[in-house]
A and B are shown apart, each in its own frame.
Chain A
Amino acid sequence: MVLVLALGDLHVPHRAADLPPKFKSMLVPGKIQHIICTGNLCIKEIHDYLKTICPDLHIVRGEFDEDARYPETKTLTIGQFKLGLCHGHQVIPWGDLDSLAMLQRQLDVDILVTGHTHQFTAYKHEGGVVINPGSATGAYSSINQDVNPSFVLMDIDGLRVVVYVYELIDGEVKVDKIDFKKTSTSNSAP
């Protein structure tokens, strides 16, 4: 079992001072094997903090990120799954599932993780999965009026991935989970 933390859109310090204390106490170093981050951290201190939770950190560039060297998109393979990572402001209209699906096909990945809308979503789409972990700090968004802090933890085990979403609603952490199974044939050719 491989644990992958997916989070992003923290917007520290522009829109939030820090992660919620309840999240920070859950994110203990040594438990997670990979972190994939959709971007908009925005400062080095957050990068360093994430590195302490897990040294295998993958980040893509959000439009407010201070570090211009993060790539626009990234792909990586974890176990049987190919994951794609992109902030999401590049895909117009923002949050549109069809457009995101195009990106998924273009990157040729099973799981696409994007952000920008500060809204947790997880869709099964044409043999793949499109996930948005939301904003880990519950930062203000012009797209989403009502933002709760959230992040996603994926448990990848063989051909199966369980997606756990953690949301902070009215001061309490609520957990939900979604199961995905990859069919043994790879996703459709473009």
Chain B
Amino acid sequence: MIADDDEKWLAAATSAVKQNAFYMQRAIDSNNLKDALKFSAQMLGELRTSKLSPHKYYELYIRATDELRSLEMFFRDETARGCSIAELYELVQHAGNILPRLYLLCTIGSVYIKSKDVTAKDILKDLVEMCRAVQHPLRGLFLRSYLAQVTRDKLPSIGSELEGYRNMDALEFVLQNFTEMNKLWVRMQHQGPNRDKEKREKERNELRDLVGKNLHILGQLEGVDLVVYRDTVLPRILEQVVNCKDELAQCYLMDCIIQVFPDDFHLQTLDVLLGACPQLQPSVDIKTVLSGLMERLSNYAASSVEALPNFMQVDAFSKLDHAIGKVVEAQVDLSASASVTLYLFLLKFTLHVHSDRLDYVDQVLGSCVSQLSATGKLCDDKASKQIVAFLSAPLEKYKDVVTILKLTNYPRVMEYLDHDTNKAMAIIIIQSILKNDTRIATADEVDALFELIKGLIKDFDGLTDNDEIDEEDFQEEQNSVARLVHFLYNDDPEEMSKIIFRVRKHILTGGPKRLPLTIPPLVFSALKLIRRLRGGDENPFGDDTSTPQKILQLLTETVEVLSDVSASELALRLYLQCAQAANDCELETDAYEFFTKAYLLYEEEISDSKAQVTALRLIIGTLQRMRVFSVENRDILTHKATGYSTKLLKKPDQCRAVYECAHLYLAEEGENLKDGERVVVCLKKAQKIADAVQKWPVHPVVAVAWGLCLCMSNC
């Protein structure tokens, strides 16, 4: 209903404006000054209405002021004809009401600014004072807006300091107009009953650009350099902003200042600008203001390298850090998410401007930690998200986790994440390493890294919430950790050895669910090291920890752990790998040990028949390649293997296994290994088993066995 009425009134007012404008134009065309003034006053009378909403009033205002342009041109022609400003002023007084009169006076005044009979200073001063007569907020704002608009491109420039002074008239004018407009705008907040507060704020928001326009004008005034800005413009603006004590105005205007004026101005007046922040109303969203400022400064730094030294010179970083600290201190009920956001922007600023100063970055992290320590571990999703963004920023910037490891406060920030988010962050860190092919090259770096990812490495104290974890997710997590192990590497064998010992220490805290996934990569990393040590020169260090033996010893102890957590098949395979490594190092005792352990596992832990077949095959295959054993040792092991073969569940498997054992009595080199007799014994045994298998088509198995026999008889 009200909307309809609004439309109705606007329609009525607009048609009245149109009508009067038509007559005004006719008067102008016939050079009838008096009539022109009469009709223009009538037209402007429509703007006296209180019935319209700001939005609709604006439409009417545009209509009317559009028409005033032709009047303005007419006035200019009149002055050319010799009509003085005094005369025109006199004529205008006949307009009955204040508002139309003032619109006309502004129009006339603007024409005369550049004239010679009156100084610009006087006109501007008069105009801005006269408008005080209209104290109604909406009408006053639009009137002054018209004043700003109509004088805009006619203002005298401020000029350089030639005669020892600067022509500040234009500046004074705009600043005063701004101040008055802001006052009117703020007054709107308190008009009317409390229940309409929201509506009023909405309406005020629609009008805010009218006020902000003045700042734009200031920004574009000729002659506003750093000195003028710093000494006059900024202090005056801030004075009004602070004194008006209005949340809406303060928020909008601070943002306006930041967006309108050049970045290097802000840099040089950082103290003043930041000093205003604590003076603002407590309900003002300071973080938006500060983040807007920091973002602008970051972009400034990113776009112009020459400006970077200025940042150092004004010590921008500490000023911002300090300001944020004060804000956070002052606003006691600032949410965790909000304060982290503030630090996030400061961090981004630091990474842009001072990326080489890790101490600054660390300092920001530290400030954030102090702030978070007040709140304790976070259960707030929003805040957690912000912290993840906070921690990811340096990762993305440096792309090198090794740099991150130098930030002492980084792990401290991670402490404040809840378990799941902590693990998610750990995965992000690991993925950074995988993606950027980062090498973690010292044992100390390994320690630092595992401190960061400890949420993945072991259960949190007192919490074994394994039931809640999705099985697939858990596996993926641990596989990430496994992949990570291959990036923990150093060419220097001694350091590499240290790394392996250190990684083992961390991994062993993982518990039965993690070990089968994390131990294998460690084992293979160690086996690679053994191969390197073997291939290299005689160990020059004489250090105990980096001999193949010591590492094999470590491997024994490590793989043992797997059998304790029922990963016997895996353990058996790893023992066999170790045996081969020992073989390559000519360490017979160690190799024999590994086989013993493998056999023990086979006998005691591997009961599934299919698993037995595979395990036995691996044993035979490995044993076949061993060269380091003495005749007796080889005999013992071979005999046992053959024994296992005959005890397999299914006959075809037995047959196959037994003839495979025949290979154990045969080797390419060394006469003493070739035991033709035993080979034949094996084959005969195999044949016997094959015969016993009635229902099986004999032909593939026996044929294969005979084929083998033929091959061997050729040796």
CA distance in complex: A18, B486 (Å): 10
Main secondary structure of the interface of A (DSSP, over half): loop
Query: How many Å lie between the Cα of A45 and that of B487 in the bound state?
Result: 19
Q: Which residue of B lies closest to A96 (CB)?
A: B663
Question: Is the CB–CB distance between B483 and A13 below 8 Å?
Answer: yes
B278 CB within 8 Å of chain A: no
The total number of A-B Cβ pairs within 8 Å is 74
Q: Shortest Cβ distance from A64 into chain B, in angstroms? A: 7
| Stretch of B26-34, B63-71, B554-562, B615-623 that contacts chain A | B615-623
Stretch in B51-59, B310-318, B699-707 touching the partner: B699-707
Stretch of A27-35, A122-130, A138-146, A150-158 lying at the B interface: A138-146
Question: In this complex, what residue of A is CB-closest to B611?
Answer: A68
- Per-residue CB contact flags for chain B residues 501-533 toward chain A (1 = under 8 Å, else 0) read 000000000000000000011001001100100
Interface residues of A in 61-111 (CB under 8 A from B): 63-64, 89-90, 92-94, 98, 102, 106
A3-46: contact bitstring with B at CB < 8 Å (1 yes, 0 no)?
Answer: 00000000111111110000000000000000000000001110
Residue A171 interfacial (CB < 8 Å): no
Q: Quick one: which of A16, A63, A143 contacts B618, CB cutoff 8 A?
A: A63
Q: How many residues of B contact A (CB 8 A)?
A: 38
A98 surroundings in chain B (CB, below 8 A): 711
Residues 114-134 of chain B, each 1 if its beta carbon lies under 8 Å from chain A, else 0: 000000000000000000000
A142 / chain B contacts, CB cutoff of 8 Å: 527, 577, 580-581, 584, 622
Query: Does B270 interact with chain A (Cβ within 8 Å)?
Result: no
CA separation between A18 and B487, bound complex, in Å? 11
What's the Cα separation between A89 and B580 when bound, in Å? 15
Determine whether the beta carbon of A92 is less than 8 Å from that of B573: no
Given contacts A14-B520, A106-B700, contact A45 B479 (CB under 8 A): yes
Partner of A14, one of B524, B580, B581, B617: B524
Minimum CB–CB distance for B704 against chain A, Å:
6
Task: Please determine whether A17 and B700 come into contact, CB atoms closer than 8 angstroms.
Answer: no
Nearest chain A CB to B703's CB is how many angstroms away?
7
Inter-chain CA distance A14–B574, complex, in Å, is 11
| B600-654 with Cβ < 8 A to chain A | 614, 617-618, 620-622, 624-625
Query: A18–B531 contact, CB under 8 A?
Result: no
Of chain B, the residue at the smallest CB distance from A88 is B621
Q: How far is the CB of B658 from chain A (nearest CB, A)?
A: 12
* Set of chain B residues within 8 Å of A94, measured between Cβ atoms: 621, 624-625
Our pick among A13, A63, A106, A145 for the contact of B521 (Cβ within 8 Å) is A13
How many whole Å from A135's CB to the nearest CB in chain B? 13
- A contact residues around B700 at 8 Å (CB): 106, 190
The CA of A143 and the CA of B485, in the complex, are separated in Å by 22
Q: Is B434 an interface residue (CB 8 A)?
A: yes
Query: Per-position contact with A for B568-584: 1 when CB-CB < 8 Å, else 0?
Result: 00000100010011001
In the complex, A143 Cα to B625 Cα: how many Å? 9
Given contacts A14-B482, A14-B524, A106-B700, contact A45 B476 (CB under 8 A): yes
Q: Determine whether the beta carbon of A93 is less than 8 Å from that of B663.
A: yes
Partner of A15, one of B484, B521, B663, B708: B521
B590 contacts A by Cβ under 8 Å: no
A190 and B524 within 8 A (CB): no
Query: A14, B521: Cβ atoms under 8 Å?
Result: yes
Is there a chain A Cβ closer than 8 Å to B660's Cβ?
Answer: yes
Q: Are B617 and A90 in contact (CB under 8 A)?
A: yes
> Shortest distance in angstroms between A38's beta carbon and chain B's nearest beta carbon?
16
Q: Which residue of B lies closest to A68 (CB)?
A: B610
CA distance A16 to B708 in the complex (A): 36
Determine the chain A residues whose CB is within 8 A of the CB of B531 once the complex forms: 140, 145
Instruction: Say yes or no: B704 contacts A17, CB within 8 Å.
Output: no
Name the one of B484, B660, B699 contacting A92, with C-beta atoms under 8 angstroms: B660
Least Cβ distance of A92 to chain B in Å?
A: 5
Q: Which residues of A contact B580 (CB under 8 A)?
A: 142-143
The reply to whether A140 and B486 contact each other, CB–CB distance below 8 Å, is no
What is the CA–CA distance of A145 and B584 in the complex, to the nearest angstrom? 10
Count residues on chain A whose CB falls below 8 Å from chain B CBs.
26
In B116-168, the 8 Å CB interface with A consists of: none
What are the residues of chain B within 8 A of A12 when measuring CB–CB?
A: 483
Contact A18 B434 (CB under 8 A): yes
Nearest Cβ distance between residue B683 and chain A, in whole angstroms?
A: 14
Chain A residues, CB < 8 A from B483 = 12-13, 17-18
B contact residues around A106 at 8 Å (CB): 700, 704
The answer for the CA separation of A115 and B693 in the assembled complex, in Å, is: 31
Chain A residues, CB < 8 A from B703? 190
With both chains docked as a complex, state the minimum distance between the C-beta of A4 and any C-beta of chain B, in angstroms.
27
**A92 and B663 in contact (CB under 8 A), knowing A17-B487, A106-B704, A190-B703?**
yes
Contact digits for B452-493, partner A, Cβ 8 Å, 1 yes 0 no = 000000000000000000000001100100111111000000
Among A11, A43, A89, which residue has its beta carbon within 8 angstroms of that of B617? A89
- CB pair A64 B434 closer than 8 Å: no
B179 nearest CB across to chain A (Å): 63
Task: Give which listed residue, A16, A45, A64, contacts B486 with CB less than 8 A.
Answer: A16
Is the pair A140, B625 in contact by a Cβ cutoff of 8 Å? no
Do residues B524 and A15 form an inter-chain contact, with CB atoms below 8 A?
yes
Contact B479 A13 (CB under 8 A): yes
In the docked arrangement, what's the CA distance between A142 and B526, Å? 13
In the bound complex, CA of A45 to CA of B527 (Å): 25
Residues of B within 8 A of A18 (CB): 434, 483
C-alpha gap A98/B663 in the complex (Å): 13
Instruction: Tell me the smallest distance from the CB of A45 to a CB of chain B, in Å.
Output: 7
Q: Which residues of B contact A90 (CB under 8 A)?
A: 614, 617
Bound together, the chains give a CA A89 to CA B618 distance in angstroms of: 7
**A93–B618 touching, CB < 8 Å:** no
Complex alpha-carbon distance, A189 and B707, angstroms: 14
Q: How far is the CA of A64 from the CA of B618 in the complex (A)?
A: 11
A140 to B524, CA, bound (A): 7
CB-defined contacts of A17 to chain B, threshold 8 Å: 434, 483-484, 486-487
Query: Could you tell me if A43 and B479 are in contact, using CB atoms closer than 8 angstroms?
Result: yes
Alpha-carbon distance between A106 and B707 when the two chains are bound, in angstroms: 12
Distance in Å from the Cβ of B326 to the closest Cβ of chain A? 47
B628 shortest CB reach to chain A, Å: 13
Alpha-carbon distance between A75 and B267 when the two chains are bound, in angstroms: 73
| Cβ B621 vs Cβ A89 within 8 A | yes
Inter-chain contacts of A45 with B (CB < 8 A) = 476, 479
Residues of B within 8 A of A (CB): 434, 475-476, 479, 482-487, 520-521, 524, 527-528, 531, 573, 577, 580-581, 584, 614, 617-618, 620-622, 624-625, 660, 663, 699-700, 703-704, 707-708, 711
List 14 extra interface pairs beyond A45-B476, A92-B617, CB under 8 A: A11-B524, A12-B483, A16-B486, A18-B434, A45-B479, A64-B573, A90-B617, A92-B624, A92-B660, A94-B624, A98-B711, A102-B704, A142-B581, A190-B700
8 A-B pairs with CB atoms under 8 Å apart are: A12-B483, A15-B521, A43-B475, A89-B618, A92-B624, A94-B625, A143-B625, A190-B700
- Give 3 closest A-B pairs by Cβ, nearest first: A13-B482, A142-B580, A17-B483
